[in-house]
């Protein structure tokens, strides 16, 4: 009897885990294959993850960007306004396509990005950007 109880409990757990795994895999495919630029960063500016389009646009690998402070990529003239926006996001503001800053590409040139961003419940910033120039 206990044996079947353990199997039943295991099957019950699988029924809950498998849909989460499938949804997570779909999210990963969407995140990686989408043409939009996506970034997830910690509140302190450390990049957690970027998608392929983000890395490709800047000319870096995803791995080289992960763990980097994104302020290292922001043009020095845009540091103050970027810090101001991060402060607003930290208190729950949502950024609506009205903020632009310049990001340094791997070749040393800059690209202007316009951002949409918000903070999730785990003090992470979810952001998407579009290229302006």
Percent of residues, the chain, with pLDDT higher than 90: 47
Question: In the predicted model, is pLDDT for residue 9 greater than 50?
Answer: no
Q: Which of 36-40, 70-74, 120-124, 127-131 has the lowest mean pLDDT?
A: 120-124
Q: How far is CA 93 from CA 6, 82, 89, 108, in A?
A: 47, 14, 5, 32
Q: Of 93, 92, 99, nearest to 116 (Cα)?
A: 99
Whether 44 and 119 have beta carbons less than 8 Å apart is answered as no
Q: Does 45 or 4 have the greater pLDDT score?
A: 45
Domain ranges of the chain: 1-33, 35-131
Tell the CATH superfamily of the 35-131 domain. Answer: PAS domain (3.30.450.20)
Whether 89 and 118 have beta carbons less than 8 Å apart is answered as yes
Q: Does 65 or 91 have the greater pLDDT score?
A: 65
How does the average pLDDT of the chain come out, rounded?
80
pLDDT digits (tens, 9 = 90+) for 33-68: 677 899 999 989 999 999 999 999 999 999 999 999
Whether 17 and 25 have beta carbons less than 8 Å apart is answered as no
Q: What is the DSSP letter of 121?
A: T
Q: Which of 73-77, 82-86, 118-122 has the lowest mean pLDDT?
A: 118-122
């Amino acid at each position: 009897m206990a044996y079947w109880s353990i199997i039943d409990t295991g099957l019950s757990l699988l029924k809950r885990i498998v849909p989460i795994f499938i949804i997570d895999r779909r999210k990963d495919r969407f995140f990686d294959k989408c043409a939009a630029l996506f970034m997830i960063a910690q509140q302190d500016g450390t990049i957690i993850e970027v998608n392929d389009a983000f890395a490709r646009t800047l000319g870096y690998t995803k791995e080289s960007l992960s763990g980097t402070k994104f302020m290292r990529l922001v043009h020095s003239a845009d540091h103050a306004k970027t810090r101001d926006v991060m402060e607003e996001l930290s208190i729950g503001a949502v950024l609506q396509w009205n903020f632009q800053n310049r990001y340094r590409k791997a070749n040393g040139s800059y690209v202007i990005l316009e951002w949409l961003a918000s903070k999730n419940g785990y003090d992470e910033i979810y952001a998407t950007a579009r290229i302006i120039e």
